[in-house]
Amino acid sequence: MSPGPPPDDADAPAASGEPLPSVGLAPWVAAVVTFLSSAAVLVLEITALRLIAPYVGITMETNTAVIGLALAAIAFGAWAGGATADRTSPRGLIGPLLVLGGALTLTISPAIRWVTAFTPPEQSAGLALLLAAVTVFAPAAVLSAIPPMVVKLQLSTLTETGSVVGRLSAIGTLGAIAATFLTGFVLVALLPTSVILLTTGALLIAGGLALVVSTRRRGVEPGIGTAGALTVAVAAAGLGLIAPDPCQVETRYHCASVVADPDREGGHTLVLDTLRHSYVDLEDPAYLEFEYVRTLAGALDAQAPPDESLDVLHVGGGAMTLPRYQLAHRDGGTNTVVEIDPGVVDVVREELPLPRSDRFGVDVQDGRVAVAGLGTDSYDVYVGDAFGGVAAPWHLATTETFADVDRVLRPDGLVALNVIDYGDLGFLAAEAATLGTIFDHVAVFEHSDRPVPGGNFVILAAHQPLDLDAVTAATRSHGGGMRPVPQDRVDELVADAVVLTDDHAPVDQLFDGRS
């Protein structure tokens, strides 16, 4: 009795150049499926960062975690998909996998937002990161299993292996590139993250169902059922549409909200991601809620009395509390605000109307680029208050940055920085040490009521001696603020600190985010 044929030899490439009777997918269908599945994975990677930002902020660690997670999902999915394609015919699997990938994509937004909505604030950050890991990994792995299956179906002979694998690999890469640019440059500026994920999931499901119908007409039944995936998709879409949204507006960089102060009629707080970034009293611009803002204002007051002109460059806008104060408090001088996020500027203009004055201007661009384009000796004070999450953007914290700031400042100019740090204060120490390589005098102010060092700090730097008593007195006139750190403690802090340069600025690693 002779053995029968292998169970599925129709999908195995011929050992010679002899072609098989039929190929599983038309070349254009194979290209579309590969392009779509690869593109969807990159959409998931980019949107995952935006989804978790309101809960954990955006740092180098969170970026690294999401990118590594996506790469792990791609690797696992590609391995599993290739192994499955060798064991059984993938003809009936590709359509259902697209449907499943789309259904899992639809679960991401509601899963994160519903669970964190009922989680205590102190636990929501870690839980959001965990949920992102679980929910993003599953659809990315499923979608990454599809390209090797498509390749298997397109291999009709061994003599064309290189060209088939190369062509489909290139198409998948082009899909990933297209999704990266389209999502990063267009979609996030036009649509909420939930809508981007809803659209992506719907496209995957539609493509998968079309493939299921097509293969059935050719006599191939789905390798796995689609009813369960469709049920999950419908439920997830419904929950996603009514899920609580922590954002009033999703800007290009932030989840932004303006919250009215119930205890102060004109008071409003601008919340960006996890932080209360700014407080503005529209009826009294001289009212300064946060102690670090009072300290910055005190430093400006000590730099020049109210009847003297002071040209101030503010890098990092927020709700522009300090420029509003300067316009109301000082008769002369200009205030230029550099803010990288146009969405934040739009929210502030709409919700917290800005004063109209020829002494006040907003420049929407990166702070480092803006400083590079300014003239020498053009400002009296540089106020640095820019953050990506809780950490300062590294490229605004280096010696090269402050060397250019020194060029822009007049000889008696002042640098005033808001710095956030916790734990062993590694970033605070590094920033103070970095400023010390450019300026002759550096001072640090800290909160007076914190049992454990941490939170906001203010660093002042200049070539001339700093009058810390004058800064403290001016700060006290605003209701009290921070106290200067004794110089011997500052010297001890910076003694072994890292000096930040463009070549080495581990800002996120130095920052210890313990609250």
In a domain, 270, yes or no: no
Q: What is the pTM of this model?
A: 0.80
Of 217, 246, 275, the last residue of a domain is 246
Q: Looking at the structure, do residues 478 and 353 belong to the same domain, yes or no?
A: yes
CATH of residue 109: 1.20.1250
pLDDT of the residue at 121: 64
- 235 lies in the same domain as 309: no
More confident residue, 131 or 365: 365
Q: Are residues 357 and 238 in the same domain?
A: no
- Confidence category of residue 452, pLDDT binned at 50, 70, 90: low
Q: Pick the more confident residue, 481 or 484.
A: 484
The two beta strands, 483-484 and 441-446, are antiparallel
Do 296 and 164 lie in a common domain? no
pLDDT surpasses 50 at 2? no
pLDDT grade for 24, boundaries at 50, 70 and 90: low
Tokens, residue 392: 């300062």
Q: Do 212 and 329 reside in the same domain of the chain?
A: no
**Choice among 2-6, 309-313, 499-503 with the minimum mean pLDDT:** 2-6
Query: Would 262 be classed as within a structural domain?
Result: no
Q: What band does 156 get if pLDDT is binned at 50, 70 and 90?
A: low
Q: What is the mean pLDDT of residues 36-52?
A: 89
Residues 502 and 358 grouped into a single domain: yes
Q: Please check whether residue 136 lies inside any domain of the structure.
A: yes
Q: What is the mean pLDDT of the chain?
A: 86
**In-domain check, residue 196:** yes
**Residue with more model confidence, 216 or 322:** 322
Same domain for 324 and 203, yes or no, is no
Verify that 403 and 329 share a domain, yes or no. Answer: yes
**What CATH number is attached to the domain comprising 470?**
3.40.50.150
What pLDDT sits at residue 274? 67
Between the alpha carbon of residue 427 and those of residues 120, 273, 391, the distances in Å are 28, 21, 9
Q: How far is CA 471 from the centre of its chain?
A: 35
Of the residues 246, 280, 311, which one is the last residue of a structural domain?
246
Question: Based on the domain organization, do 240 and 301 belong to the same domain?
Answer: no
pLDDT higher than threshold 60 for residue 473: yes
Q: List C-alpha distances in Å: 46 to 220, 333, 421.
A: 35, 42, 27
Residue type, 155: L
Whether residue 18 is predicted with pLDDT greater than 70 in this model: the reply is no
Q: Is 231 exposed, middle or buried (0-12, 13-18, 19+ CB in 10 A)?
A: exposed
314 vs 338: CA distance, rounded Å: 6
Q: Identify the domain containing residue 233 by its residue range.
A: 9-246
Does one domain contain both 370 and 295?
Answer: yes
CB 289 within 8 A of CB 298: no
- Do 241 and 324 have their domain in common? no
Of 277, 276, 322, 318, nearest to 416 by C-alpha is 322
Answer yes or no: is pLDDT of 108 > 50. Answer: yes
Residue range 16-24: mean pLDDT, rounded: 46
pLDDT tops 50 at residue 514: no
Confidence class for position 394, pLDDT limits 50, 70, 90: confident
Overall domain count for the chain: 2
Beta bridge partners of 22: none
Mean pLDDT of 204-216: 91
Q: Do 341 and 232 share a structural domain?
A: no
Q: Can you name the residues that pair with 416 across neighbouring β-strands? A: 383, 460
